[in-house]
């Protein structure tokens, strides 16, 4: 087990790269969802305000 995780001495390079990859994937998902929520909320606020006025 320790041998596998050690990656014959290159563990620090291999694992940091895969950790960075996971971070980039999670960031992309999070950023795309956050963008949708913020756009949706802006439109919702504006339309609801128009609705209430009429």
Partner 1 sequence: MWKWFHQLASPPHFFRLASVLIPWLAWPGYALIAYGTFAGLFVAPPDYQQSDAFRIIYVHVPAAYLSMMAYMIMAIAGGIGLIWRMKLAHAVAASAAPIGASFTFLALASGSVWGRPMWGTWWEWGDPRLMSELLMLFLYIGYMALRSAIDDTTKADKASAVLALVGAVNVPVIHYSVEWWSSLHQGATLIREGGPAMDAAMLYPLLANILGFSLVFGALLLRRVRSEVLRREGRTRWVRELVLAPGDSA
Closest CA to 20 of 10, 12, 8: 12
d(CA 42, CA 49): 11
Verify binding: residue 30, partner 1, rule CB under 8 A: no
Verify binding: residue 26, partner 1, rule CB under 8 A: no
Verify binding: residue 8, partner 1, rule CB under 8 A: yes
Which positions lie near partner 1, rule CB under 8 A?
Answer: 4, 7-11, 13-14, 16-18, 20-21, 24-25, 27-29, 31-33, 35-37, 39-40, 42-44, 46-48, 51
């Amino acid at each position: 087990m320790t041998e596998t995780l050690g990656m014959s001495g290159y563990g620090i390079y291999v694992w940091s790269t895969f950790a960075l990859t996971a971070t980039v994937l999670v960031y992309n998902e999070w950023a795309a969802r956050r963008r949708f929520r913020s756009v949706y909320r802006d439109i919702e606020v504006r339309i609801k305000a128009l609705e209430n006025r009429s």
